Chains A and B, each alone.
Chain A
Amino acid sequence: MTIQFNDETFHGDFTFKNSEWAIKRFPFPFHEDSYMYSVNMEPHTSYRPGSVFERTFDVDEHYVSEMKDRARVLANDPLRCQSLPHMTLAGWDLVELIMEAKAREYPDLFELHKDGNRWRWVNKPLGIDDTFTFLDESTLPYGPMEYITRQTQGDFAVLDQRDDNLWMDAGMVTTQADWSLDFDIGMNFFEWHAPVPKAHEMGIFVRALKFLLNIQQGQPARRLNWTMTVNPLLDTSPENYHKWGTMKQGLTMENIGEKQHLRVELQTFFRLPRSNALVFPIRCYLIRFEDLVTVPKWARRLHRVIRDLPEELATYKGFIDNRPLMVEYLSQFDDGSPTSDGIWPDDD
């Protein structure tokens, strides 16, 4: 299937829109009618053809516009992409991982031709055809991590592994849910998670770190995370809070269906072979409430989850003030009937 790429914006006039196809394959994150943290990891293996879990790096109709948005954000703030000097090898590992996966899984969109260390990379959607020498930085227009992540949807945290900990030593972060690479760079796993409420007391991070330290080559893992965003903003960074924070005001029953978005992150974890680093791609999917409620099961469940969410979590996720309005809007679509287990729509 060839993907029709949308021409759309994630700022200003916000012309972002999901097609019927994109709505149907949206990674709805709630498998039951309530939500609490858990180390909800599973192997990142190909699952459910057509879903966002099918490919190693999902490419969808928003690809070209998301990459334009990334370039725009980077032009305004180059510190969204940083790599400490010892992380260059991990950047090359990432180049290899992404190019090999995309060329294998989307042969109509991407091609990789290798002649020893001389590689030719063809990215048809973005009109790129580059030849370079693998492991030789001087042959690419950017550092290896920046080069490939300017061509791949989702944020990327590249984590060095040492002293039984993970260190945020490189990343490309332009589509984040209110965290800052520039602030977190060089921090370890416990330091960058320090602001998260409740989870520390629950021992979540100790268990999660142990799991991540043991992720092996050839055995990637994934989980879903979520929050809420008003307007289809990919860039909800602390650096730009003054621009988007105010957008959370002014929601009404009339406009909430269009403006309020559920924001879901497909987080994956891969061991990188040469550097022994861990790469943590965080792919953001947005869906407006009025599109989400077209799936009856999701509408009922989202109403119950948001209504019953502990106050600390609604505060941390930044929607405590808008919660009453969200619940009022969503309640229209909840007739109280039971919902089936799992995240998938019932008609499947």
Chain B
Amino acid sequence: MSAGTAKLNVTVAEVKPINDLVTRFKFVRTGGGDLPTFSGGAHTVVEMQDGDITRLNAYSLMSNPADRGAYTISVRRDDQGRGGSKFMHSKVKEGMEMVISNPVNLFSLDLRAKKHLMLAGGIGITPFMAQMHQLSMMGGNFELHYSVRTASLGTYAKELAERYPGKVHIYHDDQKEAIDLKTLLANQPLGTHVYVCGPKGMINWVHGTAEEMGWPREAVHSEEFLAPASGKPFEVKCAVSNKIVQVGEHQSLLEALEAAGIDAPYLCRGGACGQCETNVIGYDGKFLHYDHWLTDEQKAGGKHIMPCVSRFEGKTLVLDR
């Protein structure tokens, strides 16, 4: 069975610019009624009908998980991106009907933790907002360290500091403020779990530093959704469905399969969850693996590809789809 198919029909209840880059969207169930409860860290996949193209982008849910009346997400405009965030910023208006997926959580809290130490960079703040709602209701112990470029681009920084006094620490890049990670990690109580969401460099820095300092791998959690990279167009032969599919420059392989009516499972659409892993039957060329899922050995082996983010350059690629 194919994942990623449980859908919710929603209406845009509010579109609110937060700063120069970030806009917040609020969804309610079309026709009224409750939305499903979710757990802090979950995302939803938003379907965008952009002309002939259906775009599917995953965004973290940032609202209070206990509030079943509405979901909110925040979208950072990426002018270099393939157009999903631009669509959200320019085309989505209040009152518009949209389709989103049921919540999926690939960045959940470890509820065994005695303390949750959260490290956010930029728009990576959003999953933590829902987690902090959840933890403050449960009386959980948490602390947020949030790195922003400038005060004016510090999405929600001010309101978080007010909502959770003493638990929120803001660092401004333009004022040369930075998280002192070594000191921070050195001073945590036993049973602390660390969570990081932000740019790739930040995630690697946190994992690397924690490992150097002897933190167990299982106590450090991260989430990074990749946006599918653009690249040269290529052609794929799908052996099961007996179709030849063209993948466009600004289209992912997964999107091209979907557009051709080929059933391809997915969850995160960002190279993290493994759901869309596809067997390669034959190839003549070079893989451009961008995912976090396959091991280096698998990437070198040429037998698997993650069509949500990875691409191919060369003569022929035959997939088991």
Taking Cβ atoms with an 8 Å cutoff, the residues of A that contact B are 41-43, 85-87, 89, 96, 160-163, 210, 214, 216-219, 221, 273-276
In the bound complex, CA of A87 to CA of B105 (Å): 17
In the bound complex, CA of A285 to CA of B99 (Å): 40
Q: Find the B residue at minimum CB distance from A272.
A: B39
Contact call B111/A275, Cβ cutoff below 8 A: yes
Residues in A with CB closer than 8 Å to B3 are 214, 216, 219
Taking Cβ atoms with an 8 Å cutoff, the residues of B that contact A are 1, 3-6, 36-39, 41-42, 65, 102-105, 108-112, 134, 138, 218, 267, 273-275
| Other-chain residue from A41, A87, A210, A274 in contact with B37 (beta carbon distance below 8 A) | A274
Residue of A42, A160, A162 contacting most chain B CB atoms (<10 Å) = A162
| Other-chain residue from A87, A219, A276 in contact with B39 (beta carbon distance below 8 A) | A276
| Other-chain residue from A42, A163, A276 in contact with B218 (beta carbon distance below 8 A) | A163
Q: Find the A residue at minimum CB distance from B41.
A: A276
Contact call A273/B103, Cβ cutoff below 8 A: yes
Chain B nearest CB, measured from A31 CB (Å) = 17
Q: Find the A residue at minimum CB distance from B112.
A: A86
Contact call A273/B6, Cβ cutoff below 8 A: no
Residues in B with CB closer than 8 Å to A85 are 112
Q: Find the A residue at minimum CB distance from B105.
A: A276
- Given contacts A86-B111, A273-B38, A275-B39, is CB(A216)–CB(B273) below 8 Å? no
Contact call B108/A161, Cβ cutoff below 8 A: yes
Q: Given A214-B275, A216-B267, A218-B6, list of 5 further CB < 8 A pairs?
A: A42-B1, A160-B111, A274-B38, A275-B39, A276-B109
In the bound complex, CA of A42 to CA of B2 (Å): 11
Residues in A with CB closer than 8 Å to B1 are 41-43, 221
Chain B nearest CB, measured from A91 CB (Å) = 12
In the bound complex, CA of A85 to CA of B39 (Å): 18
Q: Find the A residue at minimum CB distance from B6.
A: A218
In the bound complex, CA of A96 to CA of B66 (Å): 13
Chain B: interface secondary structure?
Answer: loop
In the bound complex, CA of A89 to CA of B5 (Å): 26
Residues in A with CB closer than 8 Å to B5 are 219
| Other-chain residue from A96, A214, A216 in contact with B102 (beta carbon distance below 8 A) | A216
Residues in B with CB closer than 8 Å to A96 are 37
Closest 6 CB pairs of A and B: A86-B111, A276-B108, A273-B37, A218-B6, A276-B39, A218-B102
- Given contacts A214-B275, A274-B39, is CB(A162)–CB(B110) below 8 Å? yes
Residue of A43, A85, A96, A163 contacting most chain B CB atoms (<10 Å) = A163
- Given contacts A162-B218, A273-B37, A275-B111, is CB(A219)–CB(B102) below 8 Å? yes
- Given contacts A86-B112, A273-B38, A274-B37, is CB(A217)–CB(B6) below 8 Å? yes
Pick 12 A–B contacts, CB within 8 A, sort by A: A41-B1, A162-B108, A163-B218, A214-B3, A214-B273, A216-B3, A216-B102, A217-B6, A219-B3, A273-B65, A275-B39, A276-B41
Residues in A with CB closer than 8 Å to B102 are 216-219
In the bound complex, CA of A161 to CA of B274 (Å): 16
Residues in B with CB closer than 8 Å to A41 are 1
In the bound complex, CA of A274 to CA of B4 (Å): 19
Residues in B with CB closer than 8 Å to A160 are 111
In the bound complex, CA of A96 to CA of B41 (Å): 21
Residues in A with CB closer than 8 Å to B37 are 96, 273-274
Chain A nearest CB, measured from B309 CB (Å) = 17
Q: Find the A residue at minimum CB distance from B273.
A: A214
Contact call B274/A210, Cβ cutoff below 8 A: yes
Residues in A with CB closer than 8 Å to B134 are 274
- Given contacts A162-B218, A274-B65, A276-B105, is CB(A217)–CB(B111) below 8 Å? no
Contact call A273/B110, Cβ cutoff below 8 A: no
Q: Find the A residue at minimum CB distance from B110.
A: A162
| Other-chain residue from B4, B39, B41 in contact with A273 (beta carbon distance below 8 A) | B39
In the bound complex, CA of A96 to CA of B68 (Å): 14
In the bound complex, CA of A96 to CA of B110 (Å): 21
| Other-chain residue from B6, B65, B109 in contact with A216 (beta carbon distance below 8 A) | B6
Q: Find the B residue at minimum CB distance from A90.
A: B111
Chain A nearest CB, measured from B116 CB (Å) = 12
- Given contacts A274-B65, A274-B134, is CB(A218)–CB(B39) below 8 Å? no
- Given contacts A163-B218, A275-B39, is CB(A217)–CB(B104) below 8 Å? yes
In the bound complex, CA of A42 to CA of B1 (Å): 7
In the bound complex, CA of A216 to CA of B138 (Å): 23
Residues in A with CB closer than 8 Å to B103 are 217, 273
Contact call B218/A89, Cβ cutoff below 8 A: no
Q: Find the A residue at minimum CB distance from B101.
A: A216
In the bound complex, CA of A162 to CA of B106 (Å): 10
In the bound complex, CA of A218 to CA of B4 (Å): 11
Q: Find the B residue at minimum CB distance from A42.
A: B1
Residues in B with CB closer than 8 Å to A216 are 3-4, 6, 102, 104, 267
In the bound complex, CA of A67 to CA of B218 (Å): 39
| Other-chain residue from B36, B41, B112, B138 in contact with A217 (beta carbon distance below 8 A) | B36
Residue of A163, A210, A273, A276 contacting most chain B CB atoms (<10 Å) = A276
Q: Find the A residue at minimum CB distance from B275.
A: A214
Chain B nearest CB, measured from A241 CB (Å) = 33
